[in-house]
Amino acid sequence: MTAGPARRLLLIDDHQILIDGILELLSKVDEVNVTATASSAEQALSLISNEQFDLVVTDIGLPGMRGAELIAELKKRQPGIKVIALSMHEEQHIVKDALKAGADGYVLKKSTHHELEEAIRKVTKGEVFVSAEVTKMLIDDVKYPSIISQLSDREIEIIRLIVKEYTTKKIAEELFISDKTVESHKTNIFRKTGTSTLVGLTKFAIAHQLVEQSH
Amino acid sequence: MTAGPARRLLLIDDHQILIDGILELLSKVDEVNVTATASSAEQALSLISNEQFDLVVTDIGLPGMRGAELIAELKKRQPGIKVIALSMHEEQHIVKDALKAGADGYVLKKSTHHELEEAIRKVTKGEVFVSAEVTKMLIDDVKYPSIISQLSDREIEIIRLIVKEYTTKKIAEELFISDKTVESHKTNIFRKTGTSTLVGLTKFAIAHQLVEQSH
DNA sequence: ATTCCAGTAGGGGAAACCCCCTAAGTGAAA
DNA sequence: TTTCACTTAGGGGGTTTCCCCTACTGGAAT
């Protein structure tokens, strides 16, 4: 227990019970001192604008703001700050978005608290830490590139319009291109995604988070 | 603190960090004694087949088995057992499914641990407990019946086939009815759901959990 | 008894979808 | 420099969706 200076930690999660539990667990870790908690992105950003923190442990499934967005915003407001994402999601796109946004660690909620504590120790020392399952997923991602990465920007743009219930004609008008071009794109999209109907494509888009879940 | 006999509690959640935290919190509550934890439905059912418990606190968002199914199975294997659902979901259909399956309590993860403790106290005394937000939602449900309850069984059956990418003709064959009948149903479905395209209907069905999320 | 609704069925037609095929220009990558 | 992916565009055509309309049956509820 080489106690350095206690680190000011901000804990963000919309599940109060989880906050309650983690507070209890981290109270026994002397590397850190949880000085604040927040249950929403807004609250967190407001706190960080008025106070200095060394480390943030944040959920990335908060309602209202995408996790990556929150991380980027936290880093922007306090450039030196370390951020650990604490997430139930181990889907490629979510993890990748978080890391792209600048997360220094990614811990799954299904991990034990020991893993969270290890992440905190490593990240405060300037290292990065991700859960073993996440590492495996990242390797898989290299080995088996996701279908989405094969879609061009234009194709994704068109998928989004399709899922917004635009007809082919409307999409053509929106993008100032020919109906026939849109149809070409749709053909290519169907081929790449392994779908053949708009219903199937809609399910694909939702499953792969190409669109925001309405619900 | 009128300590009755300590109750044997089984805690089920696939997020180990949450289990770690709640264990810590509940260790201070003398009404209960957490004697086991499980991180999956299978593990929980296996435990409950070999051991007696008085109370179960369970997540209802476990992978593999629907929450309502798990609750029903727990009650079936130990009819007198009390079950508290601990969930992040406050959507009508999820709460209603849990209560229908026999849950004695429904606590949101965004509640504080005090609320969970209150639920445990009430439920062990034979009362029921649901979080305030859930109560409000249940009242709303009475005041504003959900769109889904306006759909007939046949209509829901057809929606499921549509989302499985069946064409009108295929649906007619599957159900041994005329294409025109299926079209009539579709017209009524569009009207009731406020949609007008298969894409919109697919989104509706996924958002309202009429179909299993593929992903 | 009568009203209401679910479920059934149909005619007809415009629009959209989905498929086959080809092809040209651009720009990046091998 | 040649290849490849992306984007653009077209001809032509069969299938499906989506819309209008009506209408019967049978059961459940008032």
**Does the CB of B169 have a partner CB in chain A at under 8 Å?**
no
On the question of pLDDT at B1 being above 50, the answer is no
CB contact under 8 A, A25 and B24: yes
Residue ranges of B 133-162 with Cβ closer than 8 A to chain A: 162
Residue B4 in this model has a pLDDT that exceeds 60: no
Taking one residue from A and the other from B, the number of pairs with CB-CB distance under 8 angstroms is 116
Asked if B110 is an interface residue toward chain A (Cβ–Cβ < 8 A), one would say yes
The per-residue b/e assignment along A4-22, b for 16 or more CB within 10 angstroms, e otherwise, is eeebbbbbbbbbbbbbbbb
H helix intervals, chain B: 16-26, 41-50, 67-77, 92-100, 113-124, 132-143, 153-163, 168-175, 179-193, 198-207
CA nearest to A28 within chain B? B24
Distance of CA B50 to the CA centre of its chain: 25
CA–CA dist A195, B142 (Å, integer)? 40
Cβ-defined contact of B110 to A25 (cutoff 8 Å): no
Here the tokens at position A179 are: 């109906």
Mean pLDDT confidence for B183-210: 95
Question: Which residue shows structure tokens 């094969």?
Answer: A150
- Tell me the pLDDT of chain A (215 aa) as tens digits: 444 555 899 999 999 999 999 999 988 887 788 779 999 999 999 999 999 999 999 999 898 888 999 999 999 999 999 999 999 988 888 888 899 899 999 999 999 999 999 999 999 999 999 999 999 888 877 777 788 889 999 999 999 999 999 999 999 999 999 999 999 999 999 999 999 999 999 999 999 989 876 55
CA A150 to C1' D20, in angstroms, rounded, equals: 43
pLDDT tens digits, B120-142? 999 999 999 999 999 988 887 77
* Type of residue numbered A37: T
pLDDT of residue B2: 43
**pLDDT, position B137:** 86
A78 touches strand D (CB under 7 A): no
CA A197 to chain centre: 29
* Strand ranges inside B123-204, DSSP E: 129-130
3-state secondary structure B172-185: HHHHCCCHHHHHHH
pLDDT at residue number B6: 56
Subunit contact B207:A214, Cβ cutoff 8 A: yes
Helices and strands (DSSP H and E) totals, chain A: 10, 6
Instruction: List CB contacts of B140: < 8 A, sequence separation 6 or more.
Output: none
> Which chain B residues have a beta carbon less than 8 Å from that of A21?
17-18, 20-22, 24-25, 113
10 Å CB burial of residue A83 (0-12, 13-18, 19+) is buried
Contact A207 B213 (CB under 8 A): yes
Report pLDDT for A5: 57
A177: contact with B, CB 8 A cutoff: no
Q: What pLDDT does residue A2 have? A: 43
The pTM assigned to this predicted structure is: 0.79
DSSP B86: E
Q: Measured between alpha carbons, how far is B139 from A154 in angstroms, rounded to an integer?
A: 46
- The stretch B61-76 carries a mean pLDDT of 91
For residue A165, give the nucleotide whose C1' atom is nearest its CA: C16
Protein-to-nucleotide distance from the CA of A174 to the C1' of D7, whole angstroms: 16
Contacts of residue A117, defined as CB under 8 A and 6 or more positions apart, other chains included, come to A25, A26, A29
Partner residue facing A199 (CB), from B15, B24, B198: B198
Maximal CA-CA distance, chain A? 68
Q: What is the pLDDT of residues B144-160, one digit of tens each?
A: 777 888 899 999 999 99
Which bases in strand D are touched by protein, i.e. have an atom under 7 Å from a CB?
5-12, 15-23
Q: How far is the CA of B96 from the C1' of C4 (A)?
A: 28
d(CA A198, CA A204): 10
* DSSP class of B6: P
The two tokens of residue B166 are 């069946």
Q: Which residues of A touch B12 (CB under 8 A)?
A: none
pLDDT at B3 over 50: no
Where on the phi/psi map is residue B209: left (φ > 0), alpha (ψ -120 to 50), or beta? Answer: left
Amino acid residing at B4: G
Task: Report CB contact under 8 Å: A22, B25.
Answer: no
Structure tokens at A210: 């190409």
- Looking at the predicted structure, is the pLDDT value of residue B113 above 90? yes
- Rounded to a whole number of angstroms, the CA Rg of chain A reads 21
Chain C positions within 7 A of any protein Cβ atom are 5-12, 15-23
Q: For residue B88, give the nearest of A15, A163, A214 by CB distance.
A: A15
Query: CA of B167 and C1' of D17: distance in angstroms?
Result: 9
**Tokens 């906050």 correspond to what residue?**
A19
Which residues make Cβ contacts (< 8 Å) with residue A204, sequence separation at least 6? Answer: A193, A194, A195, A210
All residues of chain B having their beta carbon less than 8 Å from the beta carbon of residue A22 are 17, 21
